[in-house]
Structure 1
Amino acid sequence: MADTVELPDIAICQILHSLSTKFAVRASILSKQWERVWPLVPVLDFDEDENAPNGHNASPRQHRKFLEFVTMCLKRREEDKLLHKFWLRMAYCYYCRDCAELMDKCLSFALDRNVIELHIAKSDYFLPHKVLNAECLTVLSMDSIQFRGDETVTLPSLKSLSLICISFGDLGFHHLVAGCPSLENLSVVKCTGFEKRVIVKSSTLKSLEVFNSGVELQVEALNLETFRFGQNGHASNYRRLLCNIQFSSCGALRNLAFFQAWFVGAWFDNLSSKFPVLESLILYKCGIDRGDLKVFSKNLKHFVL
């Protein structure tokens, strides 16, 4: 029988890096070499939806197995010194008391290893204070997390922030953005608990995406280059939810896109003076409530209506 050909460690590491942790662990049993290399992969990716059959919620037994799997992986990776990316998506579970405890344990594990990218999703889970003061984080994505809003935020290295279905307390959103002095990319989708007027103020922000209905938005971003906005909800509500968006000192804006939004026609007056370097304007399934749509921009290269 021919000898088994061993791949270089770096090749195995790249293969395991491309897999979710669930499948990487399965692959690591192929040989002692693969088992030895797996802890060198600086990524942990746990997604409970992977275990759910055909998009349905996991059963109590499946949920318990998921918790045990995550716990086992953390134990096997206790000797890790650094972690580049940590992803944890946990399903809503009203019958399990261990979820919050495991979430706390996972976040401590990741932050203690100076994680660079952190992606977490869990309904009815209050974000621990230590996440908001992680000096090494450059990417943070949160889905359905509860945010108290009265805590100090110090995220000096954060460049990308994604917020999905987040419930903010009073001034919570303002505190969060203000605590990110290096922020370049911000995405806000289906969030609640805002003040009447949402102010996004940042001198470093380059890209802003907001998919949220019924918010009054004021953007003050000197270096903003891309802005995308959309309403979430049924099309029949768009006429009632006129876009109330104001830009201040956004002269660097080059790409402007609106999706299923409704405007007063005068909003587009003096577009060239508002955005002198605008190159792309997208108005996908948008409507004008009063007046006519008149678009004039001397540098416009791409226009979709």
Structure 2
Amino acid sequence: MDCDRISELPDCLLTQILLYLPTKVSVSTSVLSKRWRFLWLMVPGLDLENPPTKCFESFIDNFMESNHKSRMQKFSIKSPGDHNRFVDWIEQAVVSGIHQLSVDTIYHCINMPHNIYQSKTLVSLKLARVRLEDPEVVVSLPCLKNMYLENVEYHSNLLIIEKLISGCPVLEDVTLIIKYRHVPGKEEVSQLLRVRSEFLKSFSFAYNGRPDRKDYAVEIDAAQLKYMKFMDTGCGRIVVKNLSSLFKVDLDTAFDKYVYGRRIWIPKKLSMRDVIPNFLTGISSVRHMIISYRTVRILHCYSILGPFPKFDNLYRLEAKICSYMFEFLTFLERCPNLKTLILDFGYNVTKKKQIEVRYVPRCLLVSLEYVEFKGLIWEEEIGKKQARYFLENSVVLKKLRLWCFRDSLTSKQDSDISKELLTFTKRSPECQIIMHCHCRTWRSA
């Protein structure tokens, strides 16, 4: 005989299960049976996305009233912030002792209540498209571990973010997404964003600014940072300190340089030239690095001015480059112990030129074991040349994986490519070649 084992669970367990579901789904369980009819009212959290405006305010008021005697764990709402009670609900949720607060007002920007600056229970704070005013009190968030701020308007300047981070003694994960906003009549001044945290382990920063202005400078000081992602189109300066624990970094930045087509402006002042080398020195202990096409271009141009610091600990490197850009090998020279290299050739360029490579980076001779090409155009001579280079010069290579760019190749062309690969000289006899092309996979013996 079938029996409903879930309904036999105690209310405390059932409400915790419903807490992980959107409120709309949680409410729908009321039709299951009498056992479930009012259970959703006892769920210690609210999760609404794009709720209907009709009866919206009364629904939340009733829900808050049902939970006013118990501590709410979660308050998540994504809705236009044009309701009269919107700020009151957030303030009331914070007072009730929530652990997770997520607010996205879509396009009606509202001022967040000041009591979020002194919550003793908040563990996770996620804000999008809201406005933060300069706190009138000392920021104290003793339990906050995760902070996510996306396109938030700051009443005065980025000092608000610095105060927020400084007031979170156990903060571990920070994501900042900042979009340039021009305010008519307001003087535009350069701003410094300082990220200083003793326990911070993950930091992601994205700034979408005007390419003709460099309004922001970022300083990161986090001794326990493990992961850093940095993406920007208008940041003036990047300074890093005490990042000896850094494990993985993801870079998509031109630093403080202008890039127009193939022309890159390199400053004449030595102090400005030192920005990139100093940054690389600060992250030189990293083990896994991901870099974009424009970052590769900048690094190559600056390698002309002098050698970069060595990345002795780097074992995995992923980079997006264009098909003819073998200048990237100058950067590999600074990675003597690299084991894994993944190159994405998917960046399209109109000009393709042949480049003769006459030297071999040290990592190809002593450490490189795995190479992967993505977006490879095998029909062109340059694609074959790239594969041949690594096969002929990698001493300890164990696997070369090729992803062909075009799926329009016929089975006969697949076979021809496979035969051609077998004619290539392999410096490492143990190297296996794997090619993915035309929805098929070919492996060498």
| Same fold flag (TM > 0.5) | yes
Partner AA of 1:225 in structure 2 = K
C-alpha displacement of 1:246: 0.9
Give, in whole Å, the separation in 2 of the partners of 1:184 and 1:15. 26
C-alpha displacement of 1:113: 2.5
**CA-to-aligned-CA distance 1:216-268 (integer Å, 9 cap, x gap):** 1111111111110112xxxxxx5xx4662110122211111113x21469666
Partner AA of 1:82 in structure 2 = R
Q: Give the gaps of 5 or more residues in structure 1.
A: 52-61, 94-98, 232-237
Who is 2:9 aligned against? 9
Partner AA of 1:133 in structure 2 = Q
**Pair 1:129 & 2:129 matched:** no
**The structure with more radius of gyration:** 2
Tell me the TM-score normalized by structure 1: 0.79
Give, in whole Å, the separation in 1 of the partners of 2:79 and 2:98. 19
Give, in whole Å, the separation in 1 of the partners of 2:203 and 2:151. 16
List aligned pairs for 1:5-44, cutoff 5 A: 5=4, 7-9=7-9, 12-13=14-15, 16-44=18-46
Aligned partners of 1:268 and 1:295 also within 8 Å: no
Aligned partners of 1:219 and 1:247 also within 8 Å: yes
Change over 3 Å in CA distance of 1:250–1:31 after alignment to 2:
same
The range that moved more, 159-168 or 186-195, is 186-195
Change over 3 Å in CA distance of 1:248–1:270 after alignment to 2:
closer
List aligned pairs for 1:177-188, cutoff 5 A: 177-188=165-176
C-alpha displacement of 1:109: 3.2
Aligned partners of 2:76 and 2:102 also within 8 Å: yes
List aligned pairs for 1:90-129, cutoff 5 A: 90-93=79-82, 99=83, 101-122=84-105, 123-129=108-114
C-alpha displacement of 1:301: 1.6
Partner AA of 1:72 in structure 2 = N
C-alpha displacement of 1:127: 1.2
Give, in whole Å, the separation in 2 of the partners of 1:278 and 1:218. 18
Of residues 308, 311, 318 in structure 2, which corresponds to 1:297? Answer: 311
Q: Secondary structure at the match of 2:56?
A: helix
Of residues 207, 215, 226 in structure 2, which corresponds to 1:212? Answer: 207
Partner AA of 1:66 in structure 2 = F
**CA-to-aligned-CA distance 1:99-128 (integer Å, 9 cap, x gap):** 2x4223322332233111111122321111
C-alpha displacement of 1:204: 1.8
Tell me the TM-score normalized by structure 2: 0.56
Partner AA of 1:44 in structure 2 = L
Partner AA of 1:262 in structure 2 = A
Q: What is the root-mean-square deviation in Å for CA atoms of aligned residues?
A: 2.9
List aligned pairs for 1:41-120, cutoff 5 A: 41-48=43-50, 51=51, 62-79=52-69, 81-93=70-82, 99=83, 101-120=84-103
Give, in whole Å, the separation in 2 of the partners of 1:298 and 1:270. 16
C-alpha displacement of 1:8: 2.0
Give, in whole Å, the separation in 2 of the partners of 1:245 and 1:70. 44
Partner AA of 1:43 in structure 2 = G
Of residues 126, 130, 134 in structure 2, which corresponds to 1:149? Answer: 134
C-alpha displacement of 1:272: 7.6
Partner AA of 1:219 in structure 2 = I
Give, in whole Å, the separation in 1 of the partners of 2:243 and 2:109. 36
Q: Which has the higher contact order (CA 8 A, sep 6+)?
A: 1
Q: Give the gaps of 5 or more residues in structure 2.
A: 182-188, 210-215, 258-272, 320-445
Give, in whole Å, the separation in 1 of the partners of 2:135 and 2:20. 38
Q: Secondary structure at the match of 2:109?
A: strand
Who is 2:225 aligned against? 224
Give, in whole Å, the separation in 2 of the partners of 1:29 and 1:105. 31
**Pair 1:167 & 2:124 matched:** no
